[in-house]
Amino acid sequence: MNIYINAASMTPIRSKGQNETIMLTYVVNELIKQHNVDVNNLQAVILSNSFGAISLRQAGIRPQVWLRHLDLDPIPFYSIESACAGGSIGLDLACQMLEPGGNIMVLGVEYISNLPIETKMMGITQGVPEDEREHLRSEFGPVAEGTLFMGFNEIWGRHLLESNLATVEQIAATAAKSRFHGSLNPLAAHQQALSIDRILRARKVSSVLTVPMCSSFTDGAAGLIISTEKTESSVKVRSCKSFSGNGTMEYHERLKKCVRHTVAAAGMEIKDFKCMEIHDATSVEELYSLETLEIFEKGQAGAHTLAGDTTLGGKGPIINPSGGLVSRGHPIGATGLCQLYELYLQIAGKAEQRQIDNLNIALALNAGGIITMDAASVAVTILEKA
């Protein structure tokens, strides 16, 4: 059974935005208008969100409350929380549930700007097991300002530098590429292009990372409608798979295993993709992942990035044309759907000044949480021209 994305919508991603109800109302109305779907013909609505429960603003029945005014009843609502990977895992669940002739709406939203910084930090830290937090705080907490995850990225960055796999200039070039892509994206949180020199001179978060190299707390929402019926605006879901880690593998090796499995199951190779949206919590993470996934040989991702190969107009593959988490923004529960929104636009030929010519297939990699330095949740999605 073929599955198609027939509509996609995203709010502007902002450091200070609107509440969940306002953002979701915008996305849902846009989806219904694009697909011209009767809400009574929706099979289900799936919502990804992380911080509603953490802030206790809406610890339960989140979709029922935030969507109650939209006359979507009596459709079943499902709520997903899987840290940063919830949105794309929601699509995986929707693809498994979808019935012939059906339509399922997948939504993601995050409203973080209203929260005290202590609550934000607590929420991010809940992406690691409770019984590991004290040890991780003592080992990784002091090495980077902010969350444990910045500490993990600092360690990965030091490894790249100390092993001569990358230079500080190449890490900054990765952030500059993201900022350039973000400057072309009218919905991105950061739309100002920055030079390598300016990124290197920015405030330091750690010995390796500066602020423009890191994703930040952002508000935003995104959504898709999937169907078994093809329309003029359809983009096909070739594959959508989600995986769970259990602490038995290194984080990047887990990503590699999940990507390899998904790509092989689709009858493809990683070299077949000329465009990818990769989970770049930091610019270090992007470079590390590009080499672990064997998109570039070990020690070569930084050089290719500095040369402009991963930038729009470069030799490719083009990485994070949306600006990625670093520049488009990281509204945690919606991030996976923001990635897919970009790839939908690219394959449908609707990405305007970011458009990649003759793009027929693309891959998204979305991850969430860490268990004993293993990725807790991973989702890999392949979209192709219908």
Rounded to 10 degrees, what is the CA torsion of 326, 327, 332, 335?
-110
Who contacts 39 (Cβ-Cβ below 8 Å, separation ≥6)? 32, 70, 71, 72, 75
Question: Given this model, what pLDDT does residue 55 score?
Answer: 75
Measured CA to CA, the distance from residue 249 to residue 357 in angstroms comes to 37
How many Å apart are CA 91 and CA 3, to the nearest integer? 11
**What is the predicted pLDDT for the residue at 80?**
95
- Using one digit for the tens of pLDDT, what is the confidence trace for 171-210? 999 999 999 999 999 999 999 999 999 999 999 999 999 9
The per-residue pLDDT for 56 is: 66
CATH of domain 4-115+219-231: 3.40.47.10
Which fold would CATH assign to domain 119-215+241-385? Answer: Peroxisomal Thiolase; Chain A, domain 1 (3.40.47)
Return the pLDDT at 278. Answer: 98
**Residues of CATH 3.40.47.10 domain(s) within the chain?**
4-115+219-231, 119-215+241-385
Over residues 86-95, the pLDDT tens digits come to: 999 999 999 9
* pTM of the predicted model as reported, rounded to 2 decimal places: 0.97
Residue 16 buriedness (CB in 10 A; 0-12 / 13-18 / 19+): exposed
Q: What is the C-alpha radius of gyration for the chain, rounded to an integer number of angstroms?
A: 19
Q: Which residues of the chain have pLDDT under 50?
A: none
pLDDT tens, position by position, 215-260: 988 999 999 999 999 999 999 999 999 999 999 999 999 999 999 9
The alpha carbon of 380 is separated from its chain's Cα centroid by a whole number of angstroms, namely 11
